[in-house]
């Protein structure tokens, strides 16, 4: 588990004085970047040497309560599963121990041309070496199946 502190600034809020919904995604992105640093991985160096970058494939988010101007927030990030192709993270934004926002984020790696590639071995190894609290190898599961195969199958059946 990794913890990252974020202060809510005026620029983070909307007209109602609460954190604009999209800014929670920025907060959890910053926390993930800091978590990767704690694993000893240099994302800029990885990109320069291999052309590989991380990309968010899926986010499932729940907005539970609003954060407001000047709140001091804690973003807690915990890897849930790592496979050769993806990393699933559980991320939460808290204020004074109360959960305001939760997200399950699925990350993949892309090469310089934008094609999906295996996650760097260094990342997989670092997550697994961090212990059982960090991720379960090979047990990544999205919260809901990708609807594309069912949609294609449904269309095929309807066209017959």
The residues that bridge with 72 in the sheet, in sequence order, are 7
Strands annotated E in 8-150: 53-63, 72-82, 87-95, 98-110, 116-117, 136-137
State the burial class of residue 89 (Cβ atoms within 10 Å of its Cβ: 0-12, 13-18, 19+): buried
Residue with tokens 């919904």: 21
CA diameter of the chain: 59
* Contact in structure between 60 and 24 (CB atoms under 8 Å): no
100 touches 71 (CB < 8 A): no
Residues 68/23, Cβ–Cβ less than 8 Å: no
Alpha helices in the chain (DSSP H): 21-38, 43-50, 121-129, 148-159
Catalytic: which of 12, 14, 90, 133? Answer: 14
The reply to whether 71 belongs to the active site is no
Query: Would you name the residues annotated as active-site residues?
Result: 14
């Amino acid at each position: 588990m990794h913890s990252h502190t974020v202060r809510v600034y005026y620029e983070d809020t909307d007209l109602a004085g609460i954190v604009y919904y999209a800014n929670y995604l920025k907060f959890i992105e910053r926390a993930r970047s800091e978590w990767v640093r704690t694993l000893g991985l240099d994302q800029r160096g990885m990109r320069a040497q291999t052309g590989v970058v991380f990309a968010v494939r899926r986010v499932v988010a729940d907005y539970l309560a609003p954060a407001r101007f000047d709140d001091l927030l804690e973003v807690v990030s915990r890897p849930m599963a790592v496979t050769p192709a993806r990393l699933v993270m559980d991320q939460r934004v808290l204020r004074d121990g109360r959960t305001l926002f939760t997200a399950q984020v699925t990350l993949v790696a892309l090469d310089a041309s934008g094609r999906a590639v295996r996650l760097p071995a260094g990342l997989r190894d670092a997550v697994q070496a961090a212990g059982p609290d960090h991720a379960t190898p090979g047990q990544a599961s999205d919260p809901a199946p990708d609807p594309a195969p069912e949609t294609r199958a449904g269309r095929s059946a309807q066209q017959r």
